[in-house]
């Protein structure tokens, strides 16, 4: 393909995205959400027009998933994309047959515009760029005098090959791909919710206050919240119960890392890796300060360029394995699913995803009130957490597949005990 093209053809899934079509189901949806709250009620017809205009700028999202001889692949989708009203469920399964083949959905309710996407298509950075472009075009259609200011791509721009690249394969190092075995992680248990329900609790506090709290401990915000999450799991689930066998597994918080901040890439596809905590918490006197020290050490080791490349290259090497490459798709999908169920899903206690600060052009800011992110929870990772901030609104959102909310309550109580005001929202799914 040329540097600038209509891209109305097929292309391969990126290295990170290949696993998701084979391991996802009604419960393990691998769907994540980003929502923008506007200052005015959303007009469905104008939102539809905005989406139609922007999809021509982002043809990599105007695709359907097809099965090839050896791998799944993306093919151009000529069917219309339909904006829909938000349902009560959160990050539910995206069924292409019910979604005109598309692997994402755009929804609205009152002042909210919500996008949910299947992870094989992109990661959080790609979705943020798409959502910002939709919001910009929507506000233009409502008559707002706004400018992109090089922060938001418009419908008049052309897609580039860089946006399509599989950056994992680009920075792969075959000499640094050692596999490091892992033990199964501690699992947060509880009373399962109905399979079509996901609980959601958000806490909003001052971004300035959050930065002050983390810096006072000489930590990044992500390090502080990861340590707090581990301590909260410890005091609510494990402390004084370390003799129970299931509590002797290490607590592992899976923290995605946006690799665009470490390697030169403008891809809109999946380009993230992870850093992970690992701590057996069977003692009765583990302190928050002790966990902070451990988390800081493990983050420093996990965030080195050498370690990020190793984990990236381990995944790419698996894909490049000559036997796997030429195994027919109908056999390969079963092997991937069995391996993922046995190992991948059970190696993490939960995920904590910090998307970071969202910037909009100054001319758009008077029309945007809030931004929220969320990620699915399932059978094994029954609780997950997403973090995003806009101006002085720092939002922490828990999603869960169990009824119990003790961890969330204790987590937010930590901030109120520090004298920080926390605004709590919930979908009260346990009352359905």
**Residue range of the domain that includes 140:** 11-154
115: pLDDT strictly greater than 90: yes
* CATH code at position 139: 3.30.559.10
**Cβ contact 89:198 at 8 Å:** yes
- The pLDDT tens digits of the residues spanning 49-72 come to 999 999 989 999 999 999 877 778
Report the pLDDT value the prediction gives residue 90, as an integer from 0 to 100: 92
* CA pair distance 391, 369, nearest whole angstrom: 9
In whole angstroms, give the CA distance from residue 88 to residue 96. Answer: 19
Whether the pLDDT of residue 325 is over 80: the answer is no
Do 239 and 383 lie in a common domain? Answer: yes
Least reliable range by pLDDT among 15-19, 219-223, 334-338: 334-338
Beta carbons within 8 Å of 279's beta carbon, 6+ residues apart: 230, 250, 251, 291, 294
SS3 call for 137: helix
Q: What digits encode the pLDDT tens for the residues 135-175?
A: 999 999 999 999 999 899 899 988 888 998 999 999 999 89
- pLDDT of 362 reads 97
Asked if residue 161 is part of any domain, the answer here is: no
Q: How many structural domains is the chain composed of?
A: 2
Residue 305 has which token pair? 């360029």
Whether residues 127 and 267 share a domain: the answer is no
pLDDT tens across 242-287, in order?
Answer: 999 999 999 999 999 999 999 999 999 999 999 999 999 999 999 9
**Cα torsion 73, 78, 79, 81: sign:** positive
| Whether residue 225 is found in the same domain as residue 139 | no
Pairing of strands 393-400, 199-206: antiparallel
Q: What is the pLDDT of residue 11?
A: 86
- Among the candidates 154, 169, 191, a domain finishes at 154
- Whether 6 shows a pLDDT value over 80: the answer reads no
pLDDT of residue 18: 85
The verdict on residue 194 lying in a domain is: no
169 in a structural domain? no
Mean pLDDT in residue range 114-129:
95
Q: Is residue 22 part of a domain?
A: yes
Same domain, 214 and 107: no
Sign of the Cα pseudo-torsion (37, 43, 44, 50, in order): negative
Looking at the structure, do residues 74 and 206 belong to the same domain, yes or no?
A: no
């Amino acid at each position: 393909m040329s540097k600038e093209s209509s891209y109305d053809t097929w292309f391969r899934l990126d290295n990170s995205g290949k696993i998701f079509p084979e391991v996802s189901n009604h419960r393990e949806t691998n769907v994540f959400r980003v929502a923008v709250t506007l200052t005015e009620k959303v007009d469905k017809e104008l939102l539809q027009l905005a989406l139609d205009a922007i999809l021509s700028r982002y043809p990599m999202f105007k695709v359907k998933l097809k099965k090839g001889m050896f791998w799944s692949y993306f093919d151009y989708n000529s069917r219309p994309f339909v904006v829909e009203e938000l349902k009560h469920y959160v990050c539910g399964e995206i069924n292409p047959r019910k979604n005109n083949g598309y692997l994402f959905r755009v929804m609205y309710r009152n002042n909210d515009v919500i996008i949910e996407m299947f992870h094989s298509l992109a990661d959080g950075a790609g979705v943020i760029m798409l959502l910002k472009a939709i919001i910009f075009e929507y506000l233009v259609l409502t008559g707002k005098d706004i400018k992109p200011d090089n922060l938001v791509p418009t419908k008049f721009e052309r897609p580039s090959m860089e946006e399509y690249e599989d950056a994992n394969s680009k920075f792969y190092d075959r000499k640094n791909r050692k596999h490091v075995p892992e033990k199964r992680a501690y699992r947060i248990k509880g009373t399962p919710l109905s399979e079509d329900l996901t609980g959601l609790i958000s806490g909003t506090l001052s971004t300035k206050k959050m930065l002050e709290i983390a810096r006072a401990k000489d930590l990044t915000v992500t390090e502080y919240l990861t340590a707090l999450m581990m301590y909260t799991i410890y005091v609510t689930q494990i402390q004084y119960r370390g003799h129970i066998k299931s509590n002797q597994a290490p607590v592992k918080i899976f923290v995605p890392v946006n690799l665009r901040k470490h390697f030169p890439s403008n891809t809109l596809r999946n380009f993230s890796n992870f850093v992970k905590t690992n701590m057996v918490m069977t003692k009765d006197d583990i302190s928050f300060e002790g966990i902070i020290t451990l988390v800081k050490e493990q983050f420093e080791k996990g965030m080195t360029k050498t370690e990020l490349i190793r984990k990236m290259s381990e995944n790419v090497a698996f894909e490049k394995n000559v036997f796997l490459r030429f195994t027919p798709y109908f056999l390969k999908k079963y092997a991937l699913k069995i391996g993922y169920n046995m190992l991948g899903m059970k190696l993490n206690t939960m995920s904590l995803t910090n998307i970071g600060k969202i910037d909009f052009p100054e001319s758009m800011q008077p029309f945007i009130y809030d931004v929220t992110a969320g990620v699915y929870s399932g059978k094994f990772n029954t609780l997950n957490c997403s973090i995003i901030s806009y101006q002085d609104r720092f939002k922490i959102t828990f999603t869960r597949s169990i009824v119990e909310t003790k961890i969330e309550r204790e987590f937010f109580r930590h901030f109120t005990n520090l004298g920080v005001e926390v605004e709590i929202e919930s979908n009260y799914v346990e009352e359905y």
